Chains A and B, each alone.
Chain A
Amino acid sequence: MKFLDVIRTAVHNSFRSKMRTALTVVAIFIGAFTLTITTAIGTGISSYIDNQLASVGSADVISIGKATEGDSTVDDGPARYDPDKATAASGFPGGATPPGLPVGALSDDDIASIRGTDGILDANPVVMVAPSYIEFDGNGKYELTVNPSAAVTKADLAAGSQLGGLDDTNELLLPASYLENLGFTNAESAEGRTVTIGSSTYQGEMKEVTATVVGIQNESLFGSGVGLGQQLTDALVDVQNTGKPRGAPVGYFAAVAHIGSDATQPEIDAIKADLEDQGFVGRTVADQIGTIQTVVNGIVGVLNAFAVIALIAAGFGIVNTLLMSVQERTREIGLMKAMGMSGGKIYALFSTEAVFIGFLGSAMGALVAIGVGSAISNVLSETLLSDLQGLDVLKFAPASVAGIVLVVMLIAFLAGTLPARRASKQNPIDALRYE
């Protein structure tokens, strides 16, 4: 029997008992549908994070904090009191330690020693500024959130340019979501306009600083909040420190250092090890995003595992379907063998039938998943997730969809081996006597 005839006959045979084939196909369909959707979620979120990573860009930035020792107070009890550390920690400009961060402040001496580390080009302390409101053209005062990493990252811009382009200007990046409330009609109309920022002094007196909107950025994971240029930050720190008693200790919860943009991974690792020896912890942007990606991959992995379990269950459906089919077609198999069909070809016939059922279920599952998933993704990105511009929750990569179909066909083939073997081993005489 020719290869094409084997396929044709197998396809034909699989449609003989339509109900049984249909039910098996449904089982595979569910597994393939789930697997396609979960994989698409993984692809969608990963590619979003990758895009964000690209927009964050600066691979040459490393953020540095104080390493904390003995932080497992459960076992060891509280750490010994260190007067330097404590006084520095109480001196964050603008307030107390940000919640969730390890208490370990960097002093000016620490910044100096970071600057002196091999491979570090420059280092600046991250200062916390907490301006009270933002206003444009008398349209009312609105609260604002500052994006602490704006100075060291590249924003995903809707209009305008990045921070740092203009000298002697209080530069400011405005998130797209602020436009309407402040009274701008669109992103372009806000570019180059002057806004007023209010901040209170150390003694609670309100002072205003003017700033120029240089760019408008899309909402994103790493770029929510208003981005402040270095000069504007300095101006706001000046306001905050107005009236602050002299000699009060100064501390920073983190510093941002630049390294050579062509630094290789081993070089970065060496710098990090060097920092660690001095009692600091350095984290690159990739390290921080890597954590998020690990979590996302973990979740997607669990979802995929469920889909694979569904597929394995469907595989037993194939075994069952084909065993019944072999039983029903005993005489037909015997006849074909009597007419000189080899056991190998009989095996191929039933295996092909299994693979075809697998193909049918997985192709339908994948196609429906793509259809439904794309629709859901579109709806979500216009409603629930509209704040995260550029996020397609479900992203269907042709290669991974093809991979899923192939994997399901492989599972189907494996499921088909047992019935196919049984069919190929049948003795034509016993089969022909069978009533």
Chain B
Amino acid sequence: MNTPILSAQGIRKSYGRGSARFDALRGVSLDVNAGESIAIVGKSGSGKSTLMHLLALLDIPDGGRISVNGTDATKLSVKQVNQLRNEDFGFVFQQFFLTPNASVLDNVVLPLEIAGVSSKERKARGMAVLKQLELDDKAKNKAINLSGGQKQRVVIARALVNNPRVIFADEPTGNLDTATGSLVEDILFSLNKEQGITLVIVTHDVELAARCDRQIYIRDGLEEGIDTTAGAAA
């Protein structure tokens, strides 16, 4: 079997100290293979978002090991981590995180701007990805003037613009009505099927999770089904 694109081995993460200490993850192991779609499912506070942040190298685990393409993440320099997140990862968040008064195009090309791509190429690539998501006619609009579904498509366009290998999506349909939500889901899964982009989706929506190749259920900082006794004890 190939080396998994992302691998987590017994990772632990806690917040706070003393009596206020909260163990978000208490030893979770997970392999994400290139090209698959995986759902991290759990209730609010289960630690699923923390797991995604750790996999995306946005945070450092207190214990355990995270590898990217077989390389230990702790061995990567800050610059390499930044570059990895910039070039290989795309992010889709529930709250969109768009700059309200900037144009749609400017929002979409932000990762390219950070990468230092020239203004001309940024525009060409930004327009291409907007066209792919049927938003090219909105390129000059301000992000604030879009509907929720349009905003989430802009966010996906922004995640796609760097041709990433992995897209991390945190509750991608959480803020959308059912019809728009399923449209956004269709876009994400077609990217997975047609372009082979690995999907890591964090959700509490069981229907969305069911569309993924594989589901990981997180409960109280542990993967359900592996150590149910710990979950029951908590």
* Contact surface of A with B, Cβ cutoff 8 Å: 1-2, 5, 9, 16, 331-332, 334-336, 338-342, 345, 427-429, 432, 435
Contacts and interface: CB of A to CB of B under 8 A. Distances in A.
A253 B101 CA distance: 80
A336 B87 CA distance: 13
Nearest to B106: A12
Nearest to B101: A16
The 9 residue pairs across chains A and B that have the minimum distance between CB atoms? A340-B86, A340-B82, A340-B85, A341-B114, A335-B97, A2-B116, A339-B111, A429-B59, A1-B114
Interface string B31-72: 000000000000000000000010010110000000000000
Interface in B77-122: 78-79, 81-87, 91, 93, 95, 97, 99, 101, 110-111, 113-116, 118-119
B156 to A, nearest CB: 14
B155 to A, nearest CB: 10
28 contacts: A1-B114, A2-B118, A5-B113, A5-B119, A331-B95, A332-B97, A332-B99, A334-B97, A335-B91, A335-B110, A338-B56, A338-B85, A339-B85, A339-B86, A339-B111, A339-B114, A340-B81, A340-B84, A340-B86, A340-B87, A341-B82, A341-B114, A342-B79, A342-B82, A345-B114, A429-B53, A429-B59, A432-B93
A332 B113 CA distance: 14
Central interface residue in A334, A336, A339, A429, by most chain B CB within 10 Å: A339
A335 B111 CA distance: 10
A336 B82 CA distance: 10
A145 to B, nearest CB: 71
A334 B56 CA distance: 14
Contacts of B97: 331-332, 334-335, 432
Q: Is the interface of A mostly helix, strand, loop or mixed?
A: helix
Interface of B: 53, 56, 58-59, 78-79, 81-87, 91, 93, 95, 97, 99, 101, 110-111, 113-116, 118-119
A345 B113 CA distance: 12
Contacts, number: 57
Q: Is the interface of B mostly helix, strand, loop or mixed?
A: helix
Nearest to B59: A429
Contact of B110 (A2, A331, A339, A345): A339
Central interface residue in B56, B81, B101, B114, by most chain A CB within 10 Å: B114
Given A331-B97, A338-B85, A432-B97, 9 more contacts: A1-B113, A331-B95, A332-B97, A335-B110, A338-B58, A340-B84, A340-B111, A428-B58, A432-B58
B112 to A, nearest CB: 10
B83 A340 contact: yes
Contacts of A345: 114
Contacts of B53: 429
Contacts of B87: 340
B173 to A, nearest CB: 18
B124 to A, nearest CB: 16
Contacts of A336: 110, 114
Contacts of A338: 56, 58, 85, 91
B104 to A, nearest CB: 16
Central interface residue in B58, B78, B87, by most chain A CB within 10 Å: B58
Contacts of B58: 338, 428-429, 432
Central interface residue in A5, A16, A340, A342, by most chain B CB within 10 Å: A340
B36 to A, nearest CB: 23
Contacts of A334: 97
B200 to A, nearest CB: 14
A189 B182 CA distance: 100
Contacts of B119: 5
A209 to B, nearest CB: 85
Contacts of A428: 58
Nearest to A335: B97
A339 B91 contact: yes
A384 B116 CA distance: 60
Contacts of A342: 78-79, 82
A340 B114 contact: yes
Nearest to B88: A340
A1 B101 CA distance: 20
Nearest to B53: A429
Contacts of A435: 95
Contacts of A16: 101
